[in-house]
Structures are given as C-alpha cells and as structure tokens.
Structure 1
Amino acid sequence: MIGLTTRSCRVIVRSCLALVLLVTAAEAARADETVTFGGSRVALIRPKAVRASVILLPGGDGAINVGDHGDIHGLLGNQLVRTRNAYAARGLAVMIADANTDLKAAVDYMAAIKRPVTVIGTSRGTLRAAEGIARGARPDALVLTSGLLSQDSGSSSNVMSILGSPAALPRTLVIHHTNDACKVTLPAGVEPFIKWSGGRARVKWLSGGAEEGDPCQARGHHGFNGLDGQVVSLAAGFR
C-alpha cells in the first residue's frame, strides 16, 4: 500500500477483522425458524436480547410460503418481507405471518416472547390486520403502511368498513407516500381515516424514492421503493 507504514497496515487489518467478527456476531444473535400454530406456518426471527415484538402482515395474497427453517419463498419483494431482518437488527422479535394466520393467536404467541407487540401491515395486509382486530386480536400498537384505509382510498373493502367503529383500534401509526398512485390506496383516503379514529391514529407522510412498473406493486411509491430505512425506523420506533 503506497504511503502506509507496516504499522498502519496492521491497524487496518485488525479493524477489518473486528468488523467481520462484529457482523458475524450480529448474524449469530438471531436465528430464523418456522413456527406452526392453528394450522398456519409462519417465519420467526428471535434476537438473543429481545426488547419488543412485531408481527409483519405482507400485502398481495399474503402467501409467503414458509419452508422448514424460517426460509421464505413467496412475496420476497414485498416491503415488509424484504426488510424483516432490519427489524430484528433493532432487537425486535419478528413474526412474518402468512395469509391464513390467526392474528389473535399470533399476538398471544409474540406477547409470550416480549411485549409490547406491534402489528405492522402493508397494502392488503392492512385489511388482514383489521380483520384480526375485529375478531379479537389486541396488539399494543398498529402500523398501517400504504393502507386501504377508507372508501376514499379507492376500495369498498377497507379498514374503516371492516372495523365499523374505532373502539377496538389500538394506538395507530399510518405511514403513507404522498405520491402513492395505487388505485386502492390513494392518499385521499388517509385524512378521513385519521378523523374517524378519534385521536387514536396519526399519520407520517413520506416522499421521494423511485416509481418503477405497476403502481400497486413493491417497486413503486406504494412499496416505498428506495425508502426502506425510513419506513423501518418509523414503524420499529412506534410502540
């Protein structure tokens, strides 16, 4: 190396080795596993030092196709699926739920690991969150990203219509992109939902990122393309 002494080179090598060991330790601190309950298979990431829990409800058809060791084979591009390890890196026990997961049972399972339990749903996963709450699931907090929130969102089936009343709504954070062009998650649906919540929900608007392909898919503003870090930071910090 030009301009570096032998001692400097040794320092650099030691620093690189320390970084490798740090990354290796971080990877070892969590393990993916498959958990089965109520006829549903879900993926679970459990850090050694857990400070809270989250349940991720992906969008689309919700079929993540979990293997035997927490390996996921479906919806890999979905915003919540692709960022699952970022939540675990923050010390959160993470369940990635399948479409047919009983949310009440899932909340109870994660509560036994560590409360508070936050349910995070995106796109059609927000409908599954509402359906689960309507059936008795009681998470400590709820995060709705790119949600089908109200009739003004563009969908007759929405969180408001499923719940009917905000009475069962936990503390809720809405994360929405100002330029979401998906026809069933239009930004116009956010404000009616916030008003309907009666103070139980607040919104965080995001902008920027990239729009590629279908506006209702993960590579568009709907899927917060290019904004994963911001979404994770907001959702993981809301408890």
Structure 2
Amino acid sequence: MIGYQQRVLRALGVLAILWSFAIPSPGRAEAPITVKGGESITIAGVRSILIRAPHPKGSVILLTGGDGRLEVGSGARLGKAGDNVLIRNRDAFVAQGYNVLLAELGTNLPAAVDHMAVIKRPVIVVATSMGTHRAAQGLVAGAMPDRLVLTSGLLSKASGSDDTVQTVLGTPNRLPRTLVLHHREDRCRLTLPAGVAPFQAWAGGRVQVEWMSGGQTDEVNPCRFSAHHGFAGQDDELVARIVKFMVR
C-alpha cells in the first residue's frame, strides 16, 4: 500500500509540474499558426513540421518545453507553443542555413535524428525546459545527434527536481558534445541556476556552459516564455550563441 501511495503521489507531482509549465498567460489564447515555408511530415507515426533551408549547412531538431505538445496539423499548422523560445525563433535558425524540425510530443528522437541526417548533417538537437528531459530520454533510446544544446534545463537535482537530465542519462557517456545555455536569473523552480555546476562537474569535458543575464520579463509565471526562463527580450543573442556552438 505504501508503494502504491508513493507512485500516486509521484504521478500527481509530475502532473502538477506539467500544468505549471503549460498554463497560459492571463487573457491570452493561442491561435493556430501556419508555419512559413513548412511542411507537415510524419516520422515513426508522429506528425511534425519540417522547414527546409535553401542551401543547408545542417539540421536542427527543436524540442519545446511545457507538456511538449505542438498540436501539429496538416498544411504545417501549429496549434500551440508558438511563443516558446525555440519555436518562435525557428525562422532565425533557417536564416542561418539550417533545416529545422519542430518535433511534436511523442516524436521518436532516434528516428527523427536519422531522418534529418539523410537530409543534411550535422544534426543538432536543441531542447528547452521540460524538452531537455525529453532529449535525455531520446539519447537513452539510442538517438545519436552530432551535438546537443540544453537551454533552461532540468539538469541535476540542484535544479529543483529529482527527475533530471542527469538521472535519466545515468552516465555522461551518452552525451554528444553539449552546450548548456542558462539564464543567471532563471527563477523557475525546476531549472534553478544552482543545477548547472553539478551537471557540468558530472559531465566533464563533454559539456560547455554559457550564461546569459539581463533581458526583460513580466514575471507572471517564472517558468514561462515571457520570463528569464524563456530568455525574454534576448532572442537574437540566444540564437547567435547556439549557432556559434553549432559551427565550431
């Protein structure tokens, strides 16, 4: 009975976490978006959106935060998460010469990496917030991207959770060359800046850490796109740092 109660409490805790990340800003309702230059494609039974760069240098797979759902429809329609820091900067990555896959919740990451590798390598997985946890699960499942970028990540237990990138991976040997990009003033309770140093120490030379500061925030919810957690007001710098890492 005690074990059952613990499992129930753990499940309720996960639901509470997802709710806090997914809760919309007061007074805002997301409208469906048709992704410019995009096409709806199906990978291992899950529909995502692919944007092709004219002369690609490589391919980027973007994993959103929150509950991970994009609600991808036909005709490259995006039903939610358009304000997420990575999703809203999709065109900036294309402008830098990268094919972009907006990966729907449930996308098989090993299959997605293989799919994008056929189009153009290197393949870089870029994840944010709860998406960093899903990226770790994908690595454990056998995904082999050329590089990995973790922004506002659930990195180690000092980040604020017992279920983190570190605990999912179990060993740093599963990490490709990795960039951790974090905001010094991130106040989201599951991605606290204190979690970065223990993760870097655990991962050793596989991980490069870069910090950002400043920007702007409305602080309605410290785990949202409009807070330091979502690098509000710093999109250009964020993309520039990620691209610089990808081309090294």
Normalized against structure 2, the TM-score is what? 0.83
2:145 aligns with one of 111, 114, 139: 139
Task: Report the equivalent of 2:74.
Answer: 68
Q: Structure 1: which 5+ runs fail to align?
A: 1-29
Q: Within 2, Cα distance between the matches of 1:218 and 1:133?
A: 25
1:79 and 2:81 matched: no
Deviations 1:52-77 (A, max 9, x none): 11000000011101121222111111
Q: Within 2, Cα distance between the matches of 1:229 and 1:115?
A: 24
Structure 1 position 101, deviation (Å): 0.3
| SS of the residue 2:149 aligns to | strand
1:237 and 2:244 matched: yes
Structure 1 position 234, deviation (Å): 1.2
Deviations 1:41-93 (A, max 9, x none): 10110012111110000000111011212221111111011111110011100
| SS of the residue 2:83 aligns to | coil
Q: Within 1, Cα distance between the matches of 2:53 and 2:38?
A: 9
Over alpha carbons, which structure has the higher Rg? 1
> How many pairs does the alignment contain?
210
Q: Within 2, Cα distance between the matches of 1:237 and 1:87?
A: 11
Task: Report the equivalent of 1:112.
Answer: 118
| SS of the residue 2:241 aligns to | helix
What percentage of residue pairs aligned between the two structures are identical? 50
Q: Within 2, Cα distance between the matches of 1:66 and 1:238?
A: 29
Structure 1 position 237, deviation (Å): 2.4
Q: Within 2, Cα distance between the matches of 1:80 and 1:71?
A: 17
Q: Within 2, Cα distance between the matches of 1:45 and 1:179?
A: 32
Task: Report the equivalent of 1:196.
Answer: 202
Structure 1 position 236, deviation (Å): 2.1
Task: Report the equivalent of 2:181.
Answer: 175
Preserved CA contact (<8 Å) 1:141 1:238: no
1:1-239 map, 5 Å? 31-212=37-218, 213-239=220-246
Structure 1 position 202, deviation (Å): 1.1
| SS of the residue 1:50 aligns to | coil
Q: Within 2, Cα distance between the matches of 1:65 and 1:150?
A: 29
Q: Within 2, Cα distance between the matches of 1:85 and 1:149?
A: 27
| SS of the residue 2:205 aligns to | coil
Q: Structure 2: which 5+ runs fail to align?
A: 1-35
Q: Within 2, Cα distance between the matches of 1:165 and 1:36?
A: 31
Structure 1 position 225, deviation (Å): 0.2
Deviations 1:139-185 (A, max 9, x none): 00000000000000001110000000001100000000000000000
Preserved CA contact (<8 Å) 1:58 1:122: yes
